[in-house]
Amino acid sequence: MAEKEEKFTPIDKLGEFGLIDHLTKEIKLIKASSIKGVGDDCAVLEFLNKQTLVTSDALVEGVHFDFTYVPPKHLGYKSVVVNLSDIYAMNARPTQIIVNLAVSNRFGVEFLEQIYKGIKLACDVYEVDLVGGDTTSSYSGLMLSITAIGEAEEKDIVYRSGAKPNDLIVVSGDLGGAYMGLQLLEREKAVFMENQNMQPELKDFGYVLERQLKPEARKDIVDLLEKLEVKPTSMIDISDGLSSEVIHLCRQSKTGVRLYEEKIPIDPSVYKLCEEFKLTTTTVTLNGGEDYELLFTIDINDHDKIKANPNLTVIGHVTEESDGMNLITRDNKAIKLNAQGWDSLLNKS
Amino acid sequence: MAEKEEKFTPIDKLGEFGLIDHLTKEIKLIKASSIKGVGDDCAVLEFLNKQTLVTSDALVEGVHFDFTYVPPKHLGYKSVVVNLSDIYAMNARPTQIIVNLAVSNRFGVEFLEQIYKGIKLACDVYEVDLVGGDTTSSYSGLMLSITAIGEAEEKDIVYRSGAKPNDLIVVSGDLGGAYMGLQLLEREKAVFMENQNMQPELKDFGYVLERQLKPEARKDIVDLLEKLEVKPTSMIDISDGLSSEVIHLCRQSKTGVRLYEEKIPIDPSVYKLCEEFKLTTTTVTLNGGEDYELLFTIDINDHDKIKANPNLTVIGHVTEESDGMNLITRDNKAIKLNAQGWDSLLNKS
């Protein structure tokens, strides 16, 4: 399933500096804020009259990804995207990334080149500069720790804490796809482990596979909101499942919420797969992570500006804190939301 | 040798968010540039009229440290210091850090608390804010990836590339201590593995052990240079050994160098240990890493300003590139420098 490695050059053949030079040699800086990139003790950046946003996330082999079905180029791409998503979730724009890579000698230079191809592709697509990083060995497995840096004017930054009663809760795109993509890949892996002559049955599922293997960050939504002149009152990206993210917004805003089960946007292929896997779509969308959609609240007076847009779905509204955090089911029952989202310390898949 | 764990609380008992909250709950922000710390999608920072410096380094268990003799609190402290050192090496001041921690379930909450105690101690000592991070599981071992952020006025930043012929090469403190501390710890570990009743013989070696286990970044030197009104022409911190760092400065400045063996500052205990271990001090100082001293070049006209200072030693001078990079030995022979410094891809100790 993963790309075959044709050639294997041991990483210690190049040494640490040789390897960094080799992997970063073609990098050009495009951002005005990038004063100095790779090659000194630090990157030097300049954000004139803007605030700086910084976020950092690590992806660990065996915990966050499995090279049985994750091609290294996709891993590189995704590891950048998940960090950029955190910048967009502040209503800001990413400008630079720094990449720390720890690898065991099981991986060759060619494999790392593929990871860096994915990293560079993400840099091109999202127009960010790779300005630094560290490549080191590990005793087992591979780990990517990426720091993303972004900028925004102070007045534009959206925190998790600004939601207020009567605000509408809006989500971009649709939910549950990345989780069902993972279920599918895990199932086909299990089949493949049983019988290595079996070919994986993955056709017709391009959408959910792409959601899992090559997610995108919603740059377009941040651009759209600017165009529509809507500043969300609070915002977060959906990395751990809708339920857990809604709870974050409510707790930090000191509000309650009513989410409507029937409003949650779901792709038809997710319905189909849920049926096949005997899962309910609501469980999958509430608890399945990695969709990297944006979840935000807007003032009710902004409703007209967004309501015609197919990329945005109103899924509920904010209430007083004392009303609690509830999901209103299709048969009109209120169920208390709890955070069973994806937690790397609990779920090792 | 390492501290015994009295109590063991499994990390998954708290979950990812519970664990981050638990480890970061007492953190207070002290820097004016820290607008928002832990608890949103990103940290938000503001650097008015200054440039921003960012650096990130990972420390991997079994590659960069060994819990047989590294107490977790020291690891936390050191992992911050090595990153701050990169900020000082730009003649800048650190302001914030972000911590990514990947841990297997072999480690309990109490162990992570010790690591965070060390991280927070370093934050207090160096007056930086911990503004974010990620805690995730790993299948084996522990890895800390830290991003340090700093600030400086554009006119004050010192790159690796500004050295010019006739500049003096200066080093702070003394060299080789951290490497000999490591040799000592590795020897005592081997003895302990043979016979677990043996007590390690570490008395009289407090200096080199501290250099290895609890190094400091040379904040004081950056302050001193400012006070002396000396702006180095180029600078780097010594993490991988003097030889490799000198080569970085020369390559990026397109110069040669003459280093004088007899001038390299060495602590008496390092001489003593080198004798015991049958190593030459020159090999140890040229190739042993982790001293985190600053290596810089200054215009020869600034010599008078620094020459009386016991923290600073002139060890050579910059030459034309065509003269090459040479060590002048005690018997006045020129030996070509090569980079055999510490490389995590080559040395797994």
B214-247: per-residue pLDDT in tens?
999 999 999 999 999 999 999 999 999 999 999 9
Q: What is the pLDDT of residues B34-82, one digit of tens each?
A: 999 999 999 999 998 999 999 999 999 999 999 999 999 999 999 999 9
* B57, B100, B237 ranked by CB distance to A56: nearest: B100
Query: What residues does CATH 3.90.650.10 cover in chain A?
Result: 168-336
Q: Which two tokens stand for residue A279?
A: 């899962």
Q: How far is A140 from chain B (nearest CA, A)?
A: 7
* A52, A141, A147 ranked by CB distance to B147: nearest: A147
B139 has pLDDT over 70: yes
User: Pick the residue with more confidence: A349 or B85?
Assistant: B85
Interface probe for B, chosen from A36, A49, A54, A218 (most Cβ of B below 10 Å), is: A54
For chain A, the farthest-separated pair of C-alpha atoms sits apart, in whole angstroms, at 64
How many CB pairs lie under 8 A apart between chains A and B?
228
Predicted pLDDT of residue B345: 60
A88-147 residues touching B, CB cutoff 8 A: 89-90, 92, 96, 98, 100, 102, 131-141, 143, 145, 147
Predicted pLDDT of residue B217: 98
Q: What is the pLDDT of residues B169-228, one digit of tens each?
A: 999 999 999 999 999 999 989 988 888 887 777 778 899 999 999 999 999 999 999 999
Q: Could you list the mean pLDDT of each consecutive 10-residue stretch along chain A, which spans 349 residues?
A: 67 81 88 93 94 96 93 97 98 97 92 96 97 88 95 97 98 97 93 81 87 97 98 97 95 97 96 95 93 98 95 98 96 88 52
Q: For B90, which residue in chain A has the nearest alpha carbon?
A: A41
Residues across chain A: 349
User: Pick the residue with more confidence: B3 or A344?
Assistant: A344
Q: Which among B259, B237, B230 has a CA at the least distance from the CA of B318?
A: B259
Distance CA A334, CA A24 (A): 53
Predicted pLDDT of residue B132: 94
Q: Which among B159, B323, B122, B313 has a CA at the least distance from the CA of B233?
A: B159
Predicted pLDDT of residue A7: 85
Let me know: does A165 contact A255? Beta carbons within 8 Å: yes
* A41, A89, A139 ranked by CB distance to B90: nearest: A41
Interface probe for A, chosen from B17, B52, B107, B295 (most Cβ of A below 10 Å), is: B52
A285-344 residues touching B, CB cutoff 8 A: 339, 343-344
Predicted pLDDT of residue A1: 45
Q: How far is A335 from chain B (nearest CA, A)?
A: 23
DSSP B182-236: HHHHHHHHHHHHH-TTPPP--TT-HHHHHHHHS----HHHHHHHHHHT---SEEE
Report CA torsion sign: B85, B88, B92, B94: positive
- The pLDDT-based confidence of B341 (bands split at 50, 70, 90) is low
Q: Sort strands B93-103 and B142-152 into parallel, antiparallel or unpaired.
A: antiparallel
* B35, B140, B237 ranked by CB distance to A140: nearest: B140
Predicted pLDDT of residue A194: 86
Q: How far is A21 from chain B (nearest CA, A)?
A: 13
* A15, A36, A63 ranked by CB distance to B139: nearest: A63
Q: For B51, which residue in chain A has the nearest alpha carbon?
A: A46
Q: Sort strands B325-328 and B334-336 into parallel, antiparallel or unpaired.
A: antiparallel
Q: For B139, which residue in chain A has the nearest alpha carbon?
A: A62
B349 has pLDDT over 50: no
Predicted pLDDT of residue B18: 82
B347 has pLDDT over 50: no
* B41, B87, B141 ranked by CB distance to A55: nearest: B41
**Residue given tokens 């796809």 in the structure block:** A177
Let me know: does A107 contact A57? Beta carbons within 8 Å: no
Q: How far is B165 from chain A (nearest CA, A)?
A: 20
Predicted pLDDT of residue A349: 34
- The pLDDT-based confidence of B1 (bands split at 50, 70, 90) is very low
Q: How far is A17 from chain B (nearest CA, A)?
A: 8
B252·A40 Cβ contact <8 A: yes
Q: Which among A158, A165, A147 has a CA at the least distance from the CA of A221?
A: A158
Average pLDDT, whole number, for chain B?
Answer: 92
Distance CA B29, CA B44 (A): 12
Distance CA A231, CA A234 (A): 9
Q: At how many degrees (to 10) do helices B219-228 and B72-88 cross?
A: 30
Q: Give, as one character, the DSSP assignment of residue B16.
A: H
3-state secondary structure string, chain A? CCCCCCCCCEHHHCHHHHHHHHHHCCCCCCCCCEEECCCCCCEEECCCCCEEEEEEEEEEECCCECCCCCCHHHHHHHHHHHHHHHHHCCCCEEEEEEEEEEECCCCEHHHHHHHHHHHHHHHHHHCCEEEEEEEEECCCCEEEEEEEEEEECHHHCCCCCCCCCCCEEEEECCCCHHHHHHHHHHHHHHHHHHCCCCCCCCCCCHHHHHHHHCCCCCHHHHHHHHHHCCCCCEEEECCCCHHHHHHHHHHHHCEEEEEEHHHCCCCHHHHHHHHHHCCCHHHHHHHCCCCCCEEEEECHHHHHHHCCCCCEEEEEEEEEHHHCEEEECCCCCEEECCCCCCCCCCCCC
Residue A137 half-sphere exposure toward CB, CA atoms < 13 A: 27
* B90, B102, B159 ranked by CB distance to A58: nearest: B102
Which CATH class name applies to B168-336?
A: alpha beta
Distance CA A41, CA B57 (A): 11
**Residue given tokens 């968010």 in the structure block:** B17
> What share of chain B has pLDDT > 70, as a percent?
95
Q: Sort strands A93-103 and A129-137 into parallel, antiparallel or unpaired.
A: parallel
Report yes or no: A190 at the B interface, CB cutoff 8 Å: no
Predicted pLDDT of residue B264: 97
B332 has pLDDT over 90: yes
Predicted pLDDT of residue B342: 58
* Close Cβ partners of A154 (under 8 Å, ≥ 6 residues apart): A50, A51, B46
Which chain B residues are Cβ-neighbours of A61 within 8 angstroms? 139
Which chain A residues are Cβ-neighbours of B296 within 8 angstroms? none
pTM score above 0.90: yes
Q: Which among A135, A60, A145, A113 has a CA at the least distance from the CA of B146?
A: A145
Q: Which two tokens stand for residue B246?
A: 């000198």
Extended beta strands in chain B, E state = 34-36, 43-45, 51-60, 93-103, 129-137, 142-152, 168-172, 234-237, 255-260, 294-298, 312-320, 325-328, 334-336
Q: Which among B94, B232, B108 has a CA at the least distance from the CA of B150?
A: B94
Let me know: does A325 contact A315? Beta carbons within 8 Å: no
Determine the distance from the C-alpha atom of residue A186 to the mean position of all C-alpha atoms in its chain, rounded to a whole number: 20
Question: What architecture is the A11-156 domain classified under in CATH?
Answer: 2-Layer Sandwich (3.30)
**In whole angstroms, how large is the CA radius of gyration of chain B?**
21
Query: What residues does CATH 3.30.1330.10 cover in chain B?
Result: 11-156
Q: Which among B194, B175, B163 has a CA at the least distance from the CA of B317?
A: B163
